[in-house]
Structure 1
């Protein structure tokens, strides 16, 4: 098992298969909170179900309304289990914080930077532990 450092934006714990993207996603207009699928026709992951996976991408993209779509997906149980970003994104962070406060449902969000992001492997089983300030990404062997 490999442990990689990250910085916590939203606390929580998650475990799941890693979905690694090189293209950011806007949850507003790009994600269906009812199904947990990418609905942005221009995104390389169009049609892919993200619910229950650990999503890693460079950053968020798009409208401030994306935070409400993410919060609704977390409430419905159709959101990613956790989100890893190379750059901090206030919109994604707000969506996860709102869901934690309103619905008592955690979707941990961490930022790890490009170097750590470059060490992630799509499809790897990952345990994300996001504490008060620091987080750890525990990678298992590729699945």
Structure 2
């Protein structure tokens, strides 16, 4: 097994650093009704991540959607330890940004590559929002 590492540059939306396993969707996410705040499992019917747990992972996604109640759901998830460790977004918006601010979840967006196209589920991601960097390490077989 070999590893491949690449770094993307973007802009800080919410300060902080985090690292962990990536979970990726090209779809928007609603935290108010689309994610179970008690468990961190995506519950929105038909969503690309339906049934998967985002707790403690680096959530790579298009953008947030839904009502402002989602901000409070994100904050509640932080208190329950069911929230993602960080957000890597294509396009930031108010609901997820406010939730991240009040929950101290680091966020980077506006990257020089589409993160939903180049980051894969299971990649190891190190995010430094202050520097605006997202470093991705992928295990690759020699085979």
Which bin holds the TM-score, normalised by the shorter protein? 0.7 to 0.9
Are 1:11 and 2:15 matched, yes or no? yes
Match of 1:30 among 31, 34, 40: 34
Instruction: Name the CA distance, whole Å, in 1 between partners of 2:92 and 2:112.
Output: 11
Length-normalised TM-score, structure 1: 0.87
Aligned length: 135
Instruction: Give the superposition deviation at 1:114.
Output: 7.3
**5+ residue gaps, structure 2:** none
Tell me: CA distance 1:87–1:77, structure 2 relative to 1, closer, same or farther (3 Å).
same
Instruction: Give the superposition deviation at 1:138.
Output: 0.9
How large is the Cα RMSD of the aligned pairs? 1.6
Instruction: Give the superposition deviation at 1:92.
Output: 0.3
Are 1:129 and 2:131 matched, yes or no? no
**5+ residue gaps, structure 1:** 100-105
Instruction: Name the CA distance, whole Å, in 2 between partners of 1:16 and 1:142.
Output: 14
Instruction: Name the CA distance, whole Å, in 1 between partners of 2:37 and 2:114.
Output: 29
8 Å Cα contact 2:9-2:112 kept in structure 1: no
Instruction: Name the CA distance, whole Å, in 1 between partners of 2:118 and 2:46.
Output: 26
Residue in 2 aligned with 1:62?
A: 66
Residue in 1 aligned with 2:138?
A: 141
Matches within 5 A, 1:72-111: 72-99=76-103, 106-111=104-109
Matches within 5 A, 1:36-55: 36-55=40-59
What's the secondary structure of 1:17's corresponding residue? Answer: strand
Tell me: CA distance 1:5–1:114, structure 2 relative to 1, closer, same or farther (3 Å).
closer
8 Å Cα contact 1:18-1:121 kept in structure 2: yes
